[in-house]
Structure 1
Amino acid sequence: MSAPRNSVVHNVIDVLRCFSSEYPLVGVTEIADRVGLHKSSVSRLLTTLEAEGWVEQDSITRRYQLGLGLIAIAGPLLANLNVRQVAYPYLQELAETTKETAVLAVWQGSVAVTVEQIASDRTVKHTSPLGARYASTGSASVQVFLAEMSDEQVTTLLDEGTIELQHGWTRAKLRKRLEAVRKQGYATNLQETFDDEVGIAAPVYDHRREVVAAVLIAAPSYRSDEQTTQALIDQCVATAAKISTRMGNPDSQ
């Protein structure tokens, strides 16, 4: 059942929608007139939003404008959209060079989600549908994101059941695997989730040195011997570094 239109949440949304590029500064009276609320109600809402950093009051005009606190909410979405756009040509190049499927994944809450894919042009290939969600620790992309988390965060995800410990793994083995991922800069899934698939993933960093995505190569295991796998690792890491550079990461420049 939907919430009533006069709920606090709807009132907050209506107030925030009063701000635009045309009207970046808006006063209490103007907002009250637009949303149909009493000025005292609007004032209380703005006080709460100001405390959260979602709006700021201009010291001269006493009018309000949107605050930087909103970036904390919109930031992850904007980053995901941006990294997808930046990564696309590099994924194309990676798929053409390796003749395997190149994938871009982002972390969404407690799962790795496929947001872009360039499928291999070979008849036999592995693909990852857009929007596919991966929660197993055996997944190379999942390992990349978990490796950037604290042990406490990983433990919480395991305890809550939001990520799944790969069959046959112990938590101690997972910790060792994540330590290796952090040290070497990439993760592997060598037939661990599926007998016929090899997955290799490397992290993409932004200007804050934070992992915003993972580049993944998915290939059939029958054509991925030790030498080929190492070549795929090198190419995956190199591609992730190129994207990181474009995302402003100073360490990859």
Structure 2
Amino acid sequence: MTELRSEARGTSVIVNVLDVLRCFTVERPLIGVTEIAEQVGLHKSSISRILSTLEQERVVERDEQTRKYRLGVGLIAIAGPLLANLDVRQVAYPILQELRDSTSETAVLNIWDGSESISVEQIPSNRLVKHTSVMGSRYRSALSASVQIFLAHEIPERCAQLLASGEIELSGLSVEEYCARLELVRERGYAVNYGETSREEVAVAAEILDHRSEVVACAMIAAPFYRVGSSELEELSSAAVTAARKISQRLGYQSNNR
């Protein structure tokens, strides 16, 4: 019984630590003890102890001016082996470079964790004005191009659950309209976000399939809205699809697999 209590307590501590780390986002990279405590529902003293330990391990670091915390370089040591051994990332990198060079726009690789689209590689545009995001950025908007790709290939029941629970944020369309849009994404193999999540950005994402014909990632192009008209959008869509097909082939996908 003592062992069970100890194990349950240990599990609880781990969950609390993960909850604290999830408070750091692209939108809120710097956050204080009080804010974290309110978000995760723990006492400030508990948050302070967790952050103190994480700071010792360099997983978080404190900003000297605000006394708030940000994620630290210690996370790189933890995530590095995962990224280095992520096959699709290794395979995709040179093709993403080609995609960036051929379009002069930012090329991105995203994967799906079951409820969010996550950026795991990015080759920024060489242009002075460009659209980029932080590595590890997570996307939950239903109208995000990468989220459309992944939801189009989710089990319908799971897709409905994500939308109903609010884990995936849908606005501007009804569920029926959105599902019809996903059907179109499945048919053509790419998705477009034409200023729908941000008036300043256009994104095109294309599905990447492995040897089992399963979607494992997407290749995405991100560009400033003012630079992309209808003809440019068509060109970017074609380029994204071509790049995604190259990556898919290197992963063992064959068109007759389907």
Structure 1 174/81 Cα, relative in aligned 2: closer, same or farther at 3 Å? Answer: same
Q: Which protein is bigger by CA-based radius of gyration?
A: 1
Match in the other structure for 1:86? 91
**Structure 2 matches for 1:242-253, cutoff 5 A?**
242-251=246-255
Structure 1 221/134 Cα, relative in aligned 2: closer, same or farther at 3 Å? Answer: same
SS in 2 for 1:90: helix
Match in the other structure for 1:121? 126
Query: For this pair of structures, how many residues does the alignment match?
Result: 184
Structure 1 186/80 Cα, relative in aligned 2: closer, same or farther at 3 Å? Answer: farther
**Structure 2 matches for 1:104-115, cutoff 5 A?**
104-115=109-120
The 2-side partners of 1:252 and 1:196 are apart by: 39
Question: Please, which of 137, 141, 152 is the counterpart of residue 136 of structure 1?
Answer: 141
2:207 maps to 1:203: yes
Structure 1 runs of 4+ with >2 Å offset:
3-8, 77-80
Structure 1 252/128 Cα, relative in aligned 2: closer, same or farther at 3 Å? Answer: farther
Match in the other structure for 1:225? 229
Structure 2 unaligned residues grouped into runs of 5+: 11-81
Give the aligned residue type for 1:212: V
1:5 CA displacement:
11
Identity of aligned residues (%): 51
The 2-side partners of 1:161 and 1:88 are apart by: 33
Match in the other structure for 2:186? 182
Contact 2:83-2:120 within 8 A present in 1 as well = no
1:78 CA displacement:
9.0
1:129 CA displacement:
1.1
Match in the other structure for 2:217? 213
Structure 1 79/147 Cα, relative in aligned 2: closer, same or farther at 3 Å? Answer: farther
Match in the other structure for 2:33? none
Contact 1:244-1:252 within 8 A present in 2 as well = no
SS in 1 for 2:192: strand
**Structure 2 matches for 1:236-247, cutoff 5 A?**
236-247=240-251
What TM-score, normalized to structure 2? Answer: 0.67
Structure 1 206/6 Cα, relative in aligned 2: closer, same or farther at 3 Å? Answer: same
1:6 CA displacement:
7.6
Match in the other structure for 2:14? none
